[in-house]
């Protein structure tokens, strides 16, 4: 085994969706661990999907990742370890790296939110109010619309609520049909997630070791990253702090590049980058 890859999936999905990329990685001698975050996939009943914990939910998610990374390294000792995050998983990864960057050898971030700006602070306030109004486990249509409502507007006329994920309608349909995908997160999850976003928007990033290679991939039509503009702003910030960041923007790519029409090329590009850096 040449190395090990730990995948941190995104919000309202689960680790099994990465089977295809895992198969590609394993054919190149890379073991893959793709756990479900708490409140996702097999970690909880469907009724509890989208809820981390009553208190300290984000820290619990980070502690979970620590245990998975440690387990992966014990299972394959002496080989490089790569952390790979998608969407919310990029926030998990970067937040975790603030205290654990020495524990991995390379990082791949797919479809990060990037540098958000003032809207992040507004979202944090609204999330706290909603958690008080409907309870931590409550499901807020307001928060869901604030987060996702505008994403599909750029792709009208819309065939589904999730056209923004991929140009491939078959991949979108798989997501829609998956009972473990597309759920409305709890109000407390938004409190946790938006709070974590704030911690990776500024000089705190200097806690990540400067010689850790980081590769960012994003689509130029991914609304989560502002069509690339927010991602570019974050890259400029990170580089200004001395971090070693490379990137590739995929023209016309939407949010899930690993499930895009050009997914084979994206996967090959990521594997090539990993091989060069381990």
CB neighbours of 238 closer than 8 A, spacing ≥ 6? 205, 214, 245
pLDDT given for residue 149 in this prediction:
80
8 A C-beta contact, residue 212 and residue 101: yes
CATH number at residue 177: 3.40.50.1820
Q: Which domain covers residue 169, as residue numbers?
A: 3-277
Mean pLDDT per segment of 10 residues, for the chain of length 278 residues?
Answer: 97 98 98 98 94 97 98 98 98 98 98 92 95 97 87 92 97 98 97 96 97 98 96 98 98 98 98 97
CB neighbours of 108 closer than 8 A, spacing ≥ 6? 82, 83, 84, 85, 214, 215, 216, 217, 270, 273, 274
- Of 254, 233, 235, the closest CA to residue 244 belongs to 235
pLDDT given for residue 277 in this prediction:
97
pLDDT given for residue 147 in this prediction:
85
pLDDT given for residue 154 in this prediction:
87
pLDDT given for residue 146 in this prediction:
86
Tokens standing for residue 175 = 């997501």
Query: What total number of domains does the chain contain?
Result: 1
In this structure, the chain runs to a length of 278
pLDDT given for residue 118 in this prediction:
87
pLDDT given for residue 19 in this prediction:
98
């Amino acid at each position: 085994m040449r190395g090990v890859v730990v995948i941190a999936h995104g919000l309202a999905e689960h680790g099994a969706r990465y089977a295809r990329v895992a198969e590609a990685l394993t054919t190149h001698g890379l073991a893959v661990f793709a756990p479900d975050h708490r409140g996702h996939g097999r970690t909880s009943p469907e009724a509890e999907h989208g809820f981390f914990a009553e208190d300290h939910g984000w820290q619990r998610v980070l502690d979970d990742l620590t245990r998975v990374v440690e387990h992966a390294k014990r299972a394959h000792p002496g080989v490089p370890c790569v952390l790979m995050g998608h969407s919310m998983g990029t926030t998990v990864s970067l937040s975790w790296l603030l205290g654990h960057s020495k524990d991995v050898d390379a990082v791949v971030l797919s479809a990060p939110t990037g540098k958000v700006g003032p809207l992040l602070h507004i979202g944090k306030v609204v999330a706290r109010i909603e958690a008080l109004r409907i309870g931590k486990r409550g499901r807020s249509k307001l928060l869901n619309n604030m987060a996702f409502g505008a994403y599909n507007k750029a792709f009208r006329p819309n065939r589904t609520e999730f056209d923004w994920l991929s140009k491939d309608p078959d991949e979108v349909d798989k997501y829609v049909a998956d009972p473990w995908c597309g759920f409305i997160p709890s109000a407390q999850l938004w409190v946790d997630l938006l709070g974590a976003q704030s911690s990776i928007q500024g000089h705190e990033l200097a806690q990540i070791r400067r010689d850790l290679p980081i590769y960012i991939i994003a689509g130029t039509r991914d609304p989560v990253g502002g069509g690339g503009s927010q991602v570019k702003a974050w890259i400029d910030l990170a580089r200004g702090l001395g971090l070693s960041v490379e990137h590739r923007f995929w023209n016309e790519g939407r949010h899930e590049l690993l499930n895009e029409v050009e997914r084979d090329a994206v996967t090959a590009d990521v594997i090539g980058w990993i091989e060069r850096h381990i």
